[in-house]
Amino acid sequence: MVANQMGVDGESLSKAFSAFHSGTYNNQWLIVDRERFEADEGLLWIVEEAPGLMHSEDMTEKLRTDGYWGSYNVAYYDDIRAVMGETEGYGEAP
C-alpha cells in the first residue's frame, strides 16, 4: 500500500490513505505509532471509510482512558454510521 510508505506518523499516514480513497473497501483502520507509546497524543489514529467519506482522528486519549480500543464491526464516528445506514450508536454495540 503506497500510503504506508508516505506516512511518517499516524496523522500523515491517515492523510495519505485518505488521498487514495476509492470507496470500494469500506472499513475501520487502526494506526498505531509505537514510537509514541509514552506520548499523550499520536499513539492511536482511527481511520474509517465509507462511500464518498473518510473520517480520521487521534484517539490516543480514549485508548488511555479505556485501556483498549474495542472494534465491534460497526463504525465509531457518527458521520460514517449515517452514510452506512447504521442506526444504533457505537456504544450500543455488543
Dmax over Cα atoms in the chain, in whole Å?
A: 37
CA triple 65-70-74, angle to 5 deg: 130
Q: What is the Cα–Cα distance from 79 to 94, expressed in whole angstroms?
A: 20
Q: What would the pLDDT profile of 13-28 be if each residue is shown by its tens digit?
A: 778 777 777 766 788 8
Q: Which residue has the higher pLDDT, 9 or 30?
A: 30
What per-residue confidence (pLDDT) applies to 5?
58
Q: What would the pLDDT profile of 34-62 be if each residue is shown by its tens digit?
A: 877 777 888 999 999 998 899 999 999 99
Q: What would the pLDDT profile of 62-82 be if each residue is shown by its tens digit?
A: 999 999 998 888 899 999 999
What per-residue confidence (pLDDT) applies to 31?
86
What per-residue confidence (pLDDT) applies to 9?
79
